[in-house]
Amino acid sequence: MLDIQETKNIGAYNSFAVQVNAKHWFEVNTLEALREIIHYNSTEIQEPILVLGGGSNLLFTKDYKGLVLQNNLKGIRVVAEDEEHVLVAVQGGENWHELVIWALDHDYYGIENLSLIPGTVGAAPIQNIGAYGVELKDVFVRLNAVQLETGEIQHFEHMDCKFAYRDSVFKQSLKGQYFITEVVLRLSKSAQPNIQYGAIQTVLNEMGVDKITPKAVSQAVIHIRQQKLPNPCQIGNAGSFFKNPIVSQRHYKLLQDDFPHMPAYVLEDGRVKIPAAWLIDQCGWKGKRVGDAGVHQKHALVLVNYGNATGKEIKDLAFDIIYDVKIRFNILLTPEVNIL
């Protein structure tokens, strides 16, 4: 019998800690149960479905009048390997950071720069998570997913996912249509630490690290994130709320005339990525608070819930920031967070 809960408060299941209810709630522990609940929904309650992993990339602005499926599929296994690489199949409900630690404990490398990113493995391809010069697409091989309308299992290879900066086909044409059950990653057996991005090298020096290893890189990334980003267990947030905008060379050169010290990173295609945190800070939003919604005092890219903010109040704050950045820099910020 399916254990479906009604009018479930999901404040504890979203990292913003916004107090909203789901009309129906079901925890998916097996593939069989997933297909059974999809069939039940299509024949009985016939409600929209929301797949919830760690709830770290969502902002609820109202109750969800549908069926929420929590991905709790667990398991990590090696499916193939050679002298240089290993293919690891990970169930979608596994915690991402715990996977990073597992990989390091087994001397498998390539995702150490993605340490401490919140959320589940199943959500990682949707967002094409990335940090400190590494993105999920760099190690991704394929995934399995269940179509929420039919219950059919489908396989997606790398090219099928159409990965882009913090983007994939699952945020575009296939948004909300699939439940990702398993992700296969290609990890390396040889250590090739990536310390070219951000403050990793500086932190390693401060830590007195003589030999740079993937584990040391992971520890440095964890240190940086803990210093810059608030712990969702202590203050509600979803990490970086906005994507770093990418502009043309022409647009960037025009901005340089007025803002000569604007930080930027030139991409391979010639376009320029500008830190959204810098833009927000320049508009005076860093550390600003509106009721219980605010911008974190240490990182302007992080919106926070200081206690009792509603999702709508956080959304309104986000759009006020978007407006100010657009007026001052003629740059339109895009939320990373999925606003419901």
From the list 112, 243, 225, 239, the residue with the least C-alpha distance to 165 is: 243
List strands edge to edge, sheet with 49-52: 5-9, 21-28, 64-71, 49-52
Distances in Å between the Cα of 41 and the Cα atoms of 20, 48, 73, 150 are: 21, 9, 20, 10
39-41-43 Cα angle (round to 5)? 70
Location of structure tokens 């959204």: 276
* Neighbour-count burial for 251-264, b at 16+ CB within 10 Å, e otherwise: bbeebeeebeebeb
From the list 89, 171, 69, the residue with the least C-alpha distance to 127 is: 171
Other C-beta atoms closer than 10 Å to the C-beta of 313 total 18
Q: Which one of 94, 135, 240, 313 is the catalytic residue?
A: 240
240 is catalytic: yes
Q: Cα(307)–Cα(129) distance, rounded to whole angstroms? A: 27
336 is catalytic: yes
Which DSSP string corresponds to 155-188?
Answer: EEEHHHH--BTTB-GGGTTTTTSEEEEEEEEEEE
The DSSP symbol for 307 reads S
Q: Which one of 142, 166, 186, 225 is the catalytic residue?
A: 166
Q: Which one of 94, 182, 313, 336 is the catalytic residue?
A: 336
47 is catalytic: no
Could you give the residue numbers annotated as active site?
166, 240, 336
